[in-house]
Structure 1
Amino acid sequence: MTDTRHTRLFPALLTLPLLLALAPAPAQDLPAWDQLTDAQREQLVAPLRARWNDEPDQRAHMLERAERWQQLSPEQRARAHRGVRRWKHMNPAQRDEARALYARMRTLDDDGRRALKAKWRAMDAAQRKAWVAANPAPDAKHDCDR
């Protein structure tokens, strides 16, 4: 019995170093900003520079978002990252729903938000579609659709 257990355990132990070698490098192994080469810094900054230059009417908004980001706690930043990942996987109809819900939620107090969440969860797809049509989000340019 012991030999069988060891026979099954041995291949697993052999693959562990391989799995660890293939795992992405932890963030602490990456250099701090001051340790990056000029080329690495340029590679990171270039997309932002291009957007800044290509969209002068968005510069104030970009600065405002950067200032708000700096004020977020690590937990708030993590939640924002999760939201962006969720958003990227939404189809256009789901994004319209999310925009409409967000716009409406912003106008409600805590009790109103809880009530709308409960109502939303109880709706079927057709009811949600009708709700979004009756409560569209304000039209705006959405940077996050890029």
Structure 2
Amino acid sequence: MNRTIPSRLIRTAFLALALWPAFAFAQAQPAATQYPEWDQLTPTQRDALVAPLRERWNSNPDERSRMVERAQRWKTMPRDQRDRAGHGMQRWEHMSPEQRTEARGLFHAMRDMDKEQRKVFLADWRKKSAQQKTEWLKAHPAPERRERARQ
């Protein structure tokens, strides 16, 4: 299934990737669970939350400044933006590798466009056939990205 990814989803998906450990912990708990304050978490629960971030921090020294920037931006983000980012992250996790490649390509192409240019670009994108989209993505690849270490 080849669906077009809205630009807002693409932006929030990349932000949300940085927040995966916290969301993974939340999803592992039953829905009715009341989450305790940090000080009331067991050492095992704390480690479950921090370990993926620790690994990412240690294995990507060049990314540390971006990680800090994302964390600061998340702290100042209004609740509705956080919710959209969380939703975007969940959609990203359920995308096929082909859909992720498409999302990266579109994100890279639209990142410097203003709102009107993005609107025109996406309208044109939706009119393309699957073959035209594939050809466009091959002609306009997103920059190479480094894989993050995951446990």
Do both proteins adopt the same fold according to a TM-score greater than 0.5, normalized to the shorter chain?
A: yes
- What TM-score comes out, normalization by structure 2 length? 0.68
Gap change, CA 1:48 and 1:74, over 3 Å in 2: same
Q: Please name the residue that 1:25 is paired with.
A: 31
Q: Could you give the per-residue CA deviations for residues 58-114 of structure 1, whole angstroms, max 9, x where no partner exists?
A: 222221221122121111111111111111222222211111111111121221111
Q: Please name the residue that 1:20 is paired with.
A: none
How far apart are the structure 1 equivalents of 2:147 and 2:87? 18
Instruction: State whether structure 2 residue 134 is matched by structure 1 residue 136.
Output: no
Q: Please name the residue that 1:47 is paired with.
A: 52
- How far residue 129 of structure 1 moved from its aligned partner, in angstroms, is 0.7
How far apart are the structure 2 equivalents of 1:39 and 1:145? 18
How far apart are the structure 2 equivalents of 1:145 and 1:105? 28
Instruction: Note if contact 2:125-2:133 (Cα within 8 Å) is conserved in structure 1.
Output: yes
Q: Of the two structures, which has the highest relative contact order with CA contacts closer than 8 Å and spacing of 6 or more?
A: 2
- What TM-score comes out, normalization by structure 1 length? 0.70
Q: Please name the residue that 2:17 is paired with.
A: none
Gap change, CA 1:142 and 1:103, over 3 Å in 2: farther
Higher radius of gyration, 1 or 2? 1
How far apart are the structure 2 equivalents of 1:145 and 1:36? 23
How far apart are the structure 1 equivalents of 2:115 and 2:144? 25
Pick aligned residue for 1:34 from 18, 30, 39: 39
How far apart are the structure 2 equivalents of 1:32 and 1:52? 24
Q: Please name the residue that 1:110 is paired with.
A: 115
Paired residues, number: 122
Gap change, CA 1:68 and 1:127, over 3 Å in 2: same
How far apart are the structure 1 equivalents of 2:148 and 2:77? 20
How far apart are the structure 1 equivalents of 2:140 and 2:63? 27
- Alignment gaps of 5+ in structure 2: 1-29
The Cα RMSD (Å) is: 2.4
